[in-house]
């Protein structure tokens, strides 16, 4: 099923190439203004195709199309903006910054370009420059709420809590239902000792979204500080039910249980906190390592594995793609990307990732197993057997491969029996 879909995507690109070739050939011998119009039309076609590729997660292909579009219509800020976004998704921060700077030179009022330039500078550790750029974004459009949130984050990072609170109050004023901004505002108010104001805004946040784990955790911490241990426990337990990887909530609940005299439960919760905290520490180490060597794909793979353990699947997916952008022959990264996409029921994308792993290493047994799983989910048990058999042939010691093969074979047998009846 999936190869046909890939074929359709390839056909669209082929048709696009033919259209662009026609438009460019038609430019010969025509007036300059008509030639420019046809080049712009070809650039728009490339821009549309790049958007489709980016939506599929094919950032490398999107970048190639956008660069071709930029050569045809170099004065179109939208092309450079989309190019910057695609480059940023792959972790190519300096190149992304160049694209956003080009957008700003073409359109100084393009507020999203100012904001995204600040984001890539912050991601590269250039926080002071990022803060200046965010301020420019606010100058360009004082109603652009993400810029106020970003300014709050940067101010908080350097210890300016009052400034961060001021920025968050503006952000909440612009979008009163933004639970992330409200939650962070409540946290900082509590940190500054303004407990009543913090509790009021956090409780209002839960009225907007009662499933926001961070808000339950922050309220629990406030109640713990107020020595209302039973209420604190209730709020912290809800936070952990909503987010089993919330590190701080585990720590606060451990202390709360100890205060309530439940020593054994408290120690168990503390053990869980230490496990999560260890992952957090490793994440910091990997991020520091990437800062020193941003070209090493193995670092992105390692960081992706940690975020996957924390349940942050989308962030892990992004990191696997960054690893692949640095080494397209990284079979394990392709395979692990496929596994996460499959968890999100994105079977077609998962199949593409598994096939990319096999192009990099045809003996990679886990990728054959992944292909088999996709085929099973699509109802192609016969094709699944072929893939599982290859996985078992390559790694006969893996019991999971053998069990998957047995399940596919049993499914075929049941289908035959039902047909015979």
What domains does the chain contain, in order, with CATH numbers?
A: 1-93 (1.20.58), 108-210 (1.25.40.10), 228-291 (1.25.40), 292-420 (1.25.40.10)
The answer to whether residue 42 scores a pLDDT higher than 50 is yes
Position 293 confidence tier, pLDDT thresholds 50, 70, 90? confident
Which has more pLDDT, 414 or 399? Answer: 399
Q: What is the mean pLDDT of residues 66-76?
A: 83
The answer to whether residue 217 scores a pLDDT higher than 80 is yes
Position 178 confidence tier, pLDDT thresholds 50, 70, 90? very high
d(CA 151, CA 141): 14
Position 411 confidence tier, pLDDT thresholds 50, 70, 90? confident
Reported as a single tens digit per residue, the pLDDT across 335-357 is 999 999 999 989 999 999 999 99
Residue 11: predicted pLDDT:
30
Residue 58: predicted pLDDT:
64
d(CA 150, CA 130): 9
Which residue in this structure is represented by tokens 């085929």? 375
DSSP count for the chain of H helices, then E strands: 22, 0
Residue 5: predicted pLDDT:
26
Q: Write phi, then psi, for 301 (nearest 5 degrees).
A: -60, -45
d(CA 177, CA 110): 25
Find out whether 124 and 93 touch, Cβ atoms under 8 Å: yes
Find out whether 256 and 239 touch, Cβ atoms under 8 Å: no
The answer to whether residue 6 scores a pLDDT higher than 60 is no
The answer to whether residue 220 scores a pLDDT higher than 80 is yes
Residue 18: predicted pLDDT:
46
Q: What is the percent of the chain where pLDDT is above 90?
A: 53
Of 31-40, 66-75, 173-182, 285-294, give the range with the top mean pLDDT: 173-182
Reading the block at residue 88, the tokens are: 């940023």
Q: What is the mean pLDDT of residues 304-321?
A: 90
Residue 242: predicted pLDDT:
94
Residue 163: predicted pLDDT:
94
Residue 34: predicted pLDDT:
67
Find out whether 19 and 45 touch, Cβ atoms under 8 Å: yes
Residue 327: predicted pLDDT:
86
Mean pLDDT of the chain: 85
d(CA 249, CA 217): 6
The length of the chain is 421
Residue 421: predicted pLDDT:
59
pTM: 0.67
Residue 291: predicted pLDDT:
75
d(CA 253, CA 234): 9
Residue 175: predicted pLDDT:
94
The answer to whether residue 15 scores a pLDDT higher than 60 is no
Q: What is the mean pLDDT of residues 141-167?
A: 93
Ranges 6-15, 86-95, 121-130, 313-322: which has the least confidence? 6-15
Residue 57: predicted pLDDT:
62
d(CA 208, CA 180): 11
Position 255 confidence tier, pLDDT thresholds 50, 70, 90? very high
């Amino acid at each position: 099923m999936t190869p046909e879909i890939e074929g359709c995507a390839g056909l669209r690109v082929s048709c696009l190439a033919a259209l662009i070739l026609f438009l460019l050939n038609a430019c010969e011998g025509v007036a300059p203004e008509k030639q420019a119009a046809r080049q712009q039309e070809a650039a728009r076609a490339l821009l549309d195709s790049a958007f489709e590729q980016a939506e599929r997660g094919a950032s490398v292909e999107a970048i190639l199309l956008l660069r071709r579009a930029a050569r045809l219509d170099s004065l179109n800020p939208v092309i450079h903006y989309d190019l910057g976004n695609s480059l940023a998704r792959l972790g190519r921060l300096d190149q992304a910054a160049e694209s956003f700077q080009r957008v700003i030179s073409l359109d100084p009022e393009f507020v999203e370009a100012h904001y995204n330039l600040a984001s890539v500078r912050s991601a590269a550790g250039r926080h002071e420059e990022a803060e200046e750029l965010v301020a420019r974004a606010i100058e360009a459009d004082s109603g652009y709420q993400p810029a106020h949130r970003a300014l709050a984050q940067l101010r908080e990072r350097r210890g300016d809590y009052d400034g961060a609170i001021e920025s968050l109050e503006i952000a909440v004023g612009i979008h009163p239902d933004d639970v992330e901004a409200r939650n962070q505002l409540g946290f900082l108010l509590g940190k500054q000792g303004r407990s009543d104001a913090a509790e009021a805004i956090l409780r209002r946040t839960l009225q907007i979204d009662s499933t926001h784990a961070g808000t339950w955790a922050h309220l629990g911490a406030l109640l713990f500080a107020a020595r209302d241990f039973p209420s604190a426990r209730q709020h912290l337990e809800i936070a952990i039910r909503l987010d089993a990887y919330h590190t701080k909530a585990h720590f606060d609940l451990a202390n709360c249980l100890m205060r309530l005299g439940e020593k054994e439960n408290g120690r168990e919760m503390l053990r869980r906190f230490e496990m999560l905290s260890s992952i957090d520490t490793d994440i910091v180490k990997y991020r520091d390592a990437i800062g020193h060597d941003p070209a090493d794909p193995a670092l992105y793979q390692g960081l992706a594995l940690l975020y996957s353990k924390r349940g942050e699947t989308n962030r892990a997916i992004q990191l696997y793609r960054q690893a692949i952008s640095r080494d397209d022959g990284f079979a394990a990264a392709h395979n692990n990307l496929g596994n996460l996409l499959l968890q999100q029921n994105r079977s077609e994308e998962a199949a593409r990732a598994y096939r990319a792993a096999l192009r990099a290493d045809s003996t990679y047994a886990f990728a054959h197993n992944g292909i088999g799983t996709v085929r099973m989910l699509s109802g192609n048990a016969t094709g699944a057997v072929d893939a599982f058999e290859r996985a078992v042939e390559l790694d006969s010691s893996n019991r999971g491969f053998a069990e998957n093969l047995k399940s596919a074979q049993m499914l075929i047998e049941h289908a035959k029996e039902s047909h015979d009846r």
